[in-house]
Structure 1
Amino acid sequence: MNTNPVTNFEKQLLEDERKDRNRKTVKQIGKVLIYIVLTIWAILTFIPLLWMITSSFKDTSAITQVPPQLIPTQPTLDAYKRVFEVGGFGRWFFNSVVVSTILTLSNVFFASLAGYAFAKLRFPGRNTIFWILLASMMIPSQVTLIPLYILVVNTFQIADTYTALIVPTLVTTANVFLARQFMQSLPSTLIDAARIDACSEPMIFWKVMLPMAKPGLAVLGIFTFVANWNSFFWPFLVTNSNAMRTLQVGLTSFRYQYTADYGAMMAGAVLTALPMFIIFLALQKYFLRGITIGAVKG
């Protein structure tokens, strides 16, 4: 007489367990599918990189043969020799290091100052100025390229100089936005305490904000260095002599009127990308942290 309630309860438990197993099974299948898709995507993404590396150890005929040969059967270092025999590669590398380093330092410095002002200071027109800066990010760079080129080449006549390569991007609106978003997530209580102790605004910025903002500024600096290291179009426009070319522009020297030295181009591309690989492996935690800059507001 008293077995029905127990039986119903047991049936309910069994039904719940079955549903839990089904949910776990669906989740596991979903994870497996996600891993499969990500693995396929990673392989497809890695193939061009592998092709670049292996092609740097081939001669031109092996690179252009059909069907393509992914792994060289007769590897050679002739392409790397031609890169250095042409001349200028060391100078191009030096130019890229100088330009990228100076622009990284200037962007970190000026963007952190502007970010602190927009995030923590109160002054008339703060929000208006910030929204104007954000609106300027919506303007395509191609629109401002011609006026900027005329200013650099015709008005100031500083083409083919470090000034032309550096000054137009001493600080960018995107970096100001990133610095502001990160600093806005930092607590303001320490700033208020420093003001109570009669600390000046420059000292608050230097002693209080910068130590807390180091992770965000590190990410900003890494992204800025990588972006300027890989920059091609603007250096291509404002440099004429071989001595002022950066690495990305210098690689075009291996393309001639009717042919191209693909082996040397691939070898130069590998040497150009090598510092970026080293930086990524050494600072990958900052790259990953950069994804969440400004996502959490404290």
Structure 2
Amino acid sequence: MKVNAGQRVFNGFSTLLLILSTLFFIFPFYWIVTGAFKFQTVATQIPPEWFPLKPTLQNWVDLFKNPVWRWTLNSFIIALVEMFAVCLVSASAGYVLAKKLFPGRKIIFTMFIAAMALPKQVILVPLFTMLADFGWVNTYHGLILPAIGWPFGVFLMKQFAQTVPGELIEAAKIDGCSEIRLFSTIILPLLKPALGALAIFTFIASWNDYFSQLIMTRSTSMMTLPLGVATMQGEFTTNYGIMMAGAALASVPMITIFLVFQKAFTQGITMGAVKG
């Protein structure tokens, strides 16, 4: 009885802690969504109005006076292309590093691990200089191509590819399966949980990559949605209602992508935890 009572107390405390943590992390999103329907004077008043008593759509009307659809399209093009390219390149490189024997394999993998420790800001200046020499500044490929060789993606895929049985690969080769067919019909389906997790990570990282997009873009037509929303902040005054509306709009695709890949993401995290 003492064990059961202690277990009930622990379960109740854990549930309460989980609920409080959930409310703590959801509150900023709630504040952004409700603030998107408040007048400027209400959004900044103290004490705050926790729920809009007189909701307004004026913030959304003012938001769409800007080229928001163009910014959204740019964000989707960059994030989706990066997501598919990173998943494909990372899966290919991870499979080769995990299952192919060739000279220098350990050195190459060590270089990927070392690259993960480098902040993006460290390589931004030489990267910008190289892209400027190529004439790729303020272009889609200038924003997309540098992100394709993501060291974390290669590391993640390599760790998961190691779990693929070598006997399965050898049996496929004995049956006359080509390398491309082996990779596309056997390896990729087995890596689906890891690919789901990597797809979420890549999309969110690309969608929120404000710093690189700020450096690499020059025109309003090439801005992404987070960057465009940030430009609405004035030098002396800021309409927080419009900025909250833009932030709420920018969060919808990330939530959607997570819900679409949630099952694969959960499986990927679980498999990684079991592997240790």
Q: TM-score category by the smaller chain?
A: over 0.9
1:185 is aligned, of 157, 163, 168, to 163
CA distance in 1, matches of 2:26, 2:192: 32
**2:195 corresponds to 1:227:** no
**2:182 corresponds to 1:201:** no
Q: Quick check: 1:178–1:294 contact (8 Å CA) kept in 2?
A: no
Q: Quick check: 1:103–1:171 contact (8 Å CA) kept in 2?
A: no
Relative to the length of structure 1, the TM-score reads 0.88
- What is the alpha-carbon root mean square deviation over aligned residues? 1.7
CA distance in 1, matches of 2:156, 2:169: 20
CA distance in 1, matches of 2:256, 2:145: 27
**Amino acid of the residue matched to residue 149 of structure 1?**
F
- Do the aligned partners of residues 189 and 296 (structure 1) sit closer, same or farther apart at CA in structure 2, a change above 3 Å counting? farther
Instruction: Return the offset for 1:180.
Output: 1.0
- Aligned residue for 1:66? 46
Secondary structure of 2:18's partner?
A: helix
- Aligned residue for 2:97? 118
Instruction: Return the offset for 1:211.
Output: 2.2
Instruction: Return the offset for 1:293.
Output: 4.5
> Could you list the per-position Cα deviations for residues 217-252 of structure 1 after superposition, in whole angstroms to 9, with x for gaps in the alignment?
222222211221122110011112110000110002
2:141 is aligned, of 163, 170, 178, to 163
CA distance in 1, matches of 2:84, 2:189: 16
1:244 is aligned, of 199, 205, 222, to 222
**2:69 corresponds to 1:53:** no
- Aligned residue for 1:12? none
CA distance in 2, matches of 1:257, 1:32: 49
Q: Quick check: 1:178–1:293 contact (8 Å CA) kept in 2?
A: no
- Aligned residue for 2:57? 77
Secondary structure of 2:191's partner?
A: helix
Q: Quick check: 2:78–2:140 contact (8 Å CA) kept in 1?
A: yes
- Aligned residue for 1:274? 252
Instruction: Return the offset for 1:141.
Output: 2.1
**Amino acid of the residue matched to residue 125 of structure 2?**
I
CA distance in 1, matches of 2:271, 2:227: 32
CA distance in 1, matches of 2:118, 2:257: 31
Relative to the length of structure 2, the TM-score reads 0.94
The range that moved more, 139-148 or 96-105, is 139-148
- Aligned residue for 1:214? 192
**Amino acid of the residue matched to residue 80 of structure 2?**
T
Secondary structure of 2:64's partner?
A: helix
User: Structure 2: where are the runs of 5+ without partners?
Assistant: none
Secondary structure of 1:295's partner?
A: helix
- Do the aligned partners of residues 293 and 225 (structure 1) sit closer, same or farther apart at CA in structure 2, a change above 3 Å counting? farther
2:77 is aligned, of 98, 101, 105, to 98
User: Structure 1: where are the runs of 5+ without partners?
Assistant: 1-20
Q: Quick check: 1:185–1:296 contact (8 Å CA) kept in 2?
A: no
Please tell me whether Structure 1 or Structure 2 has the larger radius of gyration of its CA atoms.
Answer: 1
Q: Quick check: 1:120–1:184 contact (8 Å CA) kept in 2?
A: yes
Instruction: Return the offset for 1:284.
Output: 2.1
Secondary structure of 1:292's partner?
A: helix
- Aligned residue for 1:37? 17
CA distance in 2, matches of 1:94, 1:35: 41
> Could you list the per-position Cα deviations for residues 70-120 of structure 1 after superposition, in whole angstroms to 9, with x for gaps in the alignment?
1011000000000111x2101000000110111111111111110110111
**Amino acid of the residue matched to residue 65 of structure 1?**
Q
- Do the aligned partners of residues 115 and 233 (structure 1) sit closer, same or farther apart at CA in structure 2, a change above 3 Å counting? same
